[in-house]
């Protein structure tokens, strides 16, 4: 398992983006979190097998029906996430 941090930019705050990502991530069994950043972007972190990384990335790109994702940047990190996928 590896740990990843994502920065999502676009119209992603105030459009049910985090709630939608959390709902889909929980139903797929991911551990991590999603939160708003002061610059208008959203940060998402996850621990998952590399085989489930593409699905999670697509989940972030989809967002909600009201969001418009411009970019999803990914980096590998050391922090391990366990338990549920939460909104912070």
Query: What sections of 1-88 are H helices per DSSP?
Result: 17-28, 53-62
Beta bridge partners of 69: 10
Per the annotation, the verdict on 74 as an active-site residue is: no
Nearest-angstrom CA–CA distance, 53 and 47: 9
Asked about 36 being catalytic, the answer comes back as yes
> Of residues 18, 20, 58, 88, which has the active-site annotation?
18
Catalytic residue, chosen from 3, 20, 36, 74, is 36
Catalytic residues: 18, 36
């Amino acid at each position: 398992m590896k740990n990843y941090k994502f920065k999502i930019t676009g119209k992603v705050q105030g459009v049910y983006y985090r709630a939608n990502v959390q709902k889909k991530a929980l139903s797929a069994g991911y551990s991590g979190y999603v939160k708003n950043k002061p610059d208008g972007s959203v940060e998402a972190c996850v621990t998952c097998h590399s085989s489930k990384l593409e699905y999670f990335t697509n989940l972030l790109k989809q967002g909600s029906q009201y969001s418009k994702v411009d970019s999803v940047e990914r980096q590998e990190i050391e922090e391990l996430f366990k338990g549920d996928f939460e909104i912070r």
